[in-house]
Amino acid sequence: MFASRRLARSCLVLALAALQTGCLYRQMSQAPVATTYPYSEQQRMQAAHHWEVLARHEADRMLDSERLRFRPLYLTPASAPENGEFARGYRALLTSELVSGGAPVTLDPLNALEVRFDVELVEHRDRGFVRPPEGAFTALAAGVAVATIPINHWAEPALGLIPAAMGADVVSGSWTHTGNEEVIITTQVLDGTEILYSSSNLYYVNRGDRDQYAPDRAVRQAPPPPPSVSVSSQW
């Protein structure tokens, strides 16, 4: 009996010590403790149709702006270093959406508001672990569990994959990898030096498509040519 009481007291002391240590830990730290942001989603651009969606979104917002209504708009051509496929396509699509919406678009910059956009390519070189989509592990576990059913109950094992495949077909359209390349696309409307409208959107892009958004960076990052060696018959 005495040994049991002594053991209980020891456990109680250890528990109180652990609790006190935990309270101190919550109050003190030599450096900020890393944490994550709440779960969020970001779309991936991988089709010209996605450029059209962005152009329609920006055109609708510009047409709804009281500061831009009934003012002539001039879309600035992309400068030479930035004149990639996205710059040309987005400018054409934005022009079409504005004209379709009734905006007065002009080819003369005189006495018109300037519409321009900027594309910033962001490349992450040391990204840490990125959490998979919410419910991914549950879906995977459910798929594995379903696949094991026919081992004990069904005559044809391959039939066990049908429910899991049906579930994958339903949700697979929203699956995509996170990747390390992103773009920040900013559309602005200026009246001289005054910014009347500014809108920025963020997207993931495929690594192989990066030159569509920043061709000048693709040229700068191209590997240097191999050194040439001259050959001569003279000693």
| Per-residue pLDDT at 101 | 95
Query: According to the model, what pLDDT value does residue 219 have?
Result: 46
Residue 192 has pLDDT above 50, yes or no: yes
Average pLDDT over residues 159-180: 58
Picking from 42-56, 84-98, 136-150, 188-202, which range would have the lowest pLDDT averaged per residue?
136-150
The domains found in the chain, sorted by start residue, are 44-123+181-220 (3.40.50), 136-174 (no CATH)
The pLDDT score that the predictor gives to residue 214 is 83
pLDDT at 228: 53
Residue 198 bridge partners (DSSP): 188
pLDDT of residue 222: 47
Q: Is the pLDDT of residue 102 over 70?
A: yes
* Mean pLDDT (whole number) for 165-184: 67
User: Which segments of the chain does DSSP mark as H helices, in order?
Assistant: 2-27, 48-64, 85-100, 136-152, 161-171, 210-213, 215-220
The predicted model gives 35-48 an average pLDDT of 86
Model pTM? 0.66
Q: Which residue has the tokens 């569509």?
A: 212
**Nearest-angstrom CA–CA distance, 229 and 51:** 46
* Angle (CA) 37 39 43, round 5°: 110
192-210 mean pLDDT:
94
Q: Which of 43-52, 101-110, 159-168, 170-179 has the lowest mean pLDDT?
A: 159-168
Question: Which of residues 126 and 168 earns the better pLDDT score?
Answer: 126
CA angle 99, 47, 94 (to 5 degrees): 15
* pLDDT at 137 > cutoff 60: no
Among left, alpha and beta (phi > 0; psi -120 to 50; other), residue 94 is alpha
Average pLDDT over residues 88-105: 96
